[in-house]
Amino acid sequence: MASRGIRDRVAIVGMGCTRFGEHWDRGASDLLVEAALEACSSARIDRDAVDAYWMGTLTSGLSGLMLSEPLKTGYKPITRVENYCATGSEAIRNAAYAVACGAYDLVMAIGVEKLKDSGYSGLASGGGIPTDGTQSSMTAPATFSLLAPAYSKKYGLDRETLRRVLTRIAWKNHANGARNPKAQFQRVVPPEKIENAPKVAGMLGVFDCSGVSDGAAAAILCRAEDAHKYTDRPLLIKALSFIAGPADGAKRQDYDYTSFPEVVASAADAYAQAGVRNARDEISMAEVHDCFTPTELVLMEDLGFSRRGNAWRDTLEGRFELGGDQPVNPDGGLKSFGHPIGASGLRMMYEMWLQFRGEAGARQVPAPRLGLTHNLGGAPGRCVSFVSVVGAN
């Protein structure tokens, strides 16, 4: 049975986001404070008005003390959450449900990661946690690189065409990021440079992989009927879905690396909550988890934006570009905006906040009706997936 959802019962009334990138001279505390204060200013409140906090981080700190000390929150409940790369979205989900159930009136979801001076390269395969031995020891780029040849084989797409598709995805997201003053990478990258970049794993070159970043983002949430106290342009939550899959992809003979079943399930749940019947026609724009270019390709089909085996055509035809019918990652996505793990899900929502307020500047999508954010964590066949649907009305 799908979750009942909290459609139109919770509103986002303020948001803040740091620039993502290399912050060698700033710690996680500095980034948290910047994002939190910007969010409070956006909602026209003092930090003392916030009743409770949900803070997401994967590796940059432990417990609510990581936030209470620098932000000087006093004696307030702060819950630290983690769910792989979907940690920021998990903070939003928990905060929203706390408001919806009536436990609190005004809450903050905030996420942060400080990766650049931690020694994290983006190529680590993880470790230190006992497993049953069935998990892959490959790096993230290597694991996600398996999506490309699998898609090519299943749909009869020759390698040259597939390479053009992946290049178009990377080019699009860099072009969008070039319009974003808070993105880590703000430069258009020519297709030939993308195609000839040094290889990282399989078909994936440097420009097929998301950046390793520092950054933080935050949201202020309240009940929808109270939103007018803080803003005349709230962002209404239509659906929130979080799925943890059975993690059995590597054990199954029928798993073919051309889909994320967890994404399919979370999308179906979110669409049921929001009353969306045709995502291709009803979702105006999306922020998706483009950790690697073939991931975005597969997600277009898992989210129902393209028919199975047709996302590559839609990509080459420009459907998902800023001037297309269904812009995807208008802020540059993980690829160009960056990927400080605990903040990424909230950064996606920050773009929705700007877009629905008409404040996205050169990357503004005209008259959006519904927006979607998608955030996953883990690896193909073994992941968690979050999907939200939001709107202004």
**Residues 209, 366 contacting (CB under 8 angstroms):** no
Residues β-bridged to residue 110? 55, 218
User: Strands 204-205 and 285-287, how do they pair?
Assistant: unpaired
Place of tokens 């773009």: 351
Q: Is 214 left (phi over 0), alpha (psi -120 to 50) or beta?
A: beta
Alpha helices in the chain (DSSP H): 28-42, 65-71, 87-100, 140-145, 147-155, 159-177, 191-195, 261-274, 279-282, 293-302, 311-316, 333-337, 344-356
Determine the 3-state secondary structure of 158 from DSSP.
coil
Q: Which of 85, 209, 222, 383 is catalytic?
A: 85
Please confirm, yes or no, whether 291 is among the known catalytic residues.
no
For residue 98, what are its two tokens?
Answer: 């706390």
- Other Cβ atoms less than 10 A from the Cβ of 393: the count is 8
Euclidean distance between CA atoms 22 and 200, whole angstroms: 21
Euclidean distance between CA atoms 43 and 359, whole angstroms: 15
Please confirm, yes or no, whether 209 is among the known catalytic residues.
no
Phi, psi at 129, each rounded to 5°: -110, 125
DSSP per position, 90-137: HHHHHHHHHHHTTS-SEEEEEEEEE-TTTT--S-----SS---S-S--
Q: Which of 174, 339, 374, 383 is catalytic?
A: 339
User: How many CA atoms does the CB half-sphere of 97 hold within 13 Å?
Assistant: 13
Report the catalytic residues.
Answer: 85, 339
